[in-house]
Chains A and B, each alone.
Chain A
Amino acid sequence: MNLRKYLKVYLKFLHTSLASELEYKANILIDLITAILSLIGSIFLLSIFYQNNGSIGDWKFEEALIIQGIYTILNGITNTWFNPNLTEIVKHVREGTLDFVLLKPIDSQFFISLKKINPSGFLEIILGFFLLFFCIRINQINLNLGFLSLSFITIICSICILYSLWFFISTTTIWFVKTWNATEVLRSFLYIGRFPLSSFSFSLRVFFSVVIPIAFITTIPSEIFLGLSQLWKILLEVFVAMVFLVTSRKFWLFALKFYSSASS
């Protein structure tokens, strides 16, 4: 793979999608306001849960805010990259424009996963980081190299898991053509990630760890912030992320063999 070429193409993707979005100023403004209100709403909701309980599933309010911060970052990444690109796969397949992607001398997964960005999602990422920095202060977390690198690795793994799940579901569109609902369900499950895994019953914990590993996505990085992390959990998240990434890639290549293109 020619990395220089891919970097050049990605910069073009950034340029063209930013330019496209900036054509509609009002839309960007509304998205930015929505992002701020959504974060305020989520914190408000969390504070209601904690009004009568000092802790939920052993997590205090200040600690649960860490999960909210990581969720906000991931939601920002979802809105910036996953949502504009991966939901578009359904459109590409239905309308047959996937033909243009497949005939370009560039990796098709790279193309359809990164062609667009929604700049208003950046604000959510920034707000998420602000919330995390705030949590670091109120929870008196010691910033050291080990903590930073482990947080970085687990957050990257979370992004990979989320991307793979979404991409996997979107890929099924090659057979089923319309799978909007499935990605919407995944999005709804992602809301679960705003709460600590231990706040759920045992069966739900198993479901959100094994069947749909949403819990991995926010809880494990949050545990690192609180010094509660266990090595096996981190290794498990890295392993799950790698398995998901490789599987979604193989699944995409397999699915393309069944692509029949839309009729003209």
Chain B
Amino acid sequence: MVKNIIEVRNLSKTFNISSKEPGLKGTIKHFLRRQTKSVKVIKDINFEIKEGEIVGFLGANGAGKTTILKMLCGLIYPSEGSILVSGYLPYRRKENFLKNITLIMGQKQQLIWDLPPIESFYLNASIYDLDKFEAKRRIKKLSDMLEIDDELFIPVRKLSLGQRMKSEILAALIHEPNILFLDEPTLGLDINAQRNLRKFLQKYNKQTNATICLTSHYMKDITSLCKRVICIQNGSISYDGKLNLLLKKLSPIKEILIVCRSEEDAIQLENSGFTVKNKEKNEITIKVENKSITTSLKTILNNFDIEDLYINEPPIDEIIGEILIK
């Protein structure tokens, strides 16, 4: 049986947050008498993650995903509850624990800006107490996997965002951690760079059996990497389970693209009580619940002059997007 590598029990986190009214008056008031309030951003959550699992944390902005990730890697002290990661209390940041984990943040970088990435890799290697030979071997292995070569010797400031992100990942994995915390790793990357990164993460997980905890707003990252997702809503877990079950549960709708013979028909159809997703000239897309698809089709065919009709599953990205908004 695969053992749990992360165990979270009754975890809560409260932050003191100050707020400011707009305008000069608000600024002066904020400066002289700052009003702070306690906000419970994580509320009594429980979950376990097994060794080798890739788990996606889903949630709208400010839901608490990054806070959970930062508590898991030991950057933030929990206010209540307990966390065990690889048998360690993360916030104690013991040396052996830190050698086991890594955090990659899409919007922050650790590479030395004016130097080629290779210099940062060797610096990290010395921090993780690797000898030169071992560091060289790992850099070669990871650069092959990430498909970077010449870029290692070009100053970071001259690299593209995608090349920089690959180098960031190499710097973060040089110590071969067992647990990877990834906070929006594909942020700002183009489609090719995103795909390459996902491919790399899949390969890394397969080869090393590393556990990966991931947050991302690019749904493709979640759908192609994670079998399991944890949905966070206002600091609580609203769903924890398989991604395909979630989609089945939360996607009881289909989309029907109807091409009407005239624009008047399309307008009539738009006003006939269906949920319209979009309309363009004589083409209209409506959303229909799975259980009423037959009756809806009958109504449409009997009452409107239809030229063509297509039934589609809504894109997975949109379904998840809707879950996040709810």
Enumerate chain A interface residues (CB-CB to B < 8 A): 2, 5, 8-9, 11-13, 15-16, 19-20, 23-24, 95-97, 99-100, 102-106, 257, 259-261, 263-264
Contact = CB atoms under 8 A, between A and B. Distances in A.
A5 B126 contact: yes
Contacts of A11: 126
A102 B75 contact: yes
A16 B120 CA distance: 8
A5 B129 contact: yes
Contacts of A9: 123, 126-127
29 contacts: A5-B126, A8-B126, A9-B123, A11-B126, A13-B123, A16-B123, A19-B114, A20-B115, A95-B108, A97-B109, A99-B108, A102-B74, A102-B75, A102-B93, A103-B101, A103-B103, A104-B124, A104-B127, A105-B96, A105-B98, A105-B128, A257-B77, A259-B75, A261-B70, A261-B75, A263-B66, A264-B105, A264-B106, A264-B107
Interface residues of B, number: 38
A105 B108 contact: no
Given A12-B126, A97-B110, 13 more contacts: A12-B122, A16-B115, A19-B115, A99-B75, A99-B108, A100-B103, A105-B96, A106-B127, A259-B75, A259-B76, A261-B76, A264-B105, A264-B106
Contacts of A95: 108
Nearest to A98: B75
B114 A20 contact: yes
Interface string B103-139: 1011111101111000110111011110000000000
Contacts of A105: 95-96, 98-99, 127-129
List of 5 A-B pairs having minimum Cβ-Cβ separation, nearest first: A105-B98, A100-B110, A20-B114, A105-B95, A12-B126
B221 interface: no
Nearest to A19: B115
Contacts of B107: 264
A95 B110 CA distance: 12
B97 to A, nearest CB: 8
Given A12-B126, A23-B114, A103 B74 contact: yes
B184 interface: yes
Contacts of A260: 15, 76
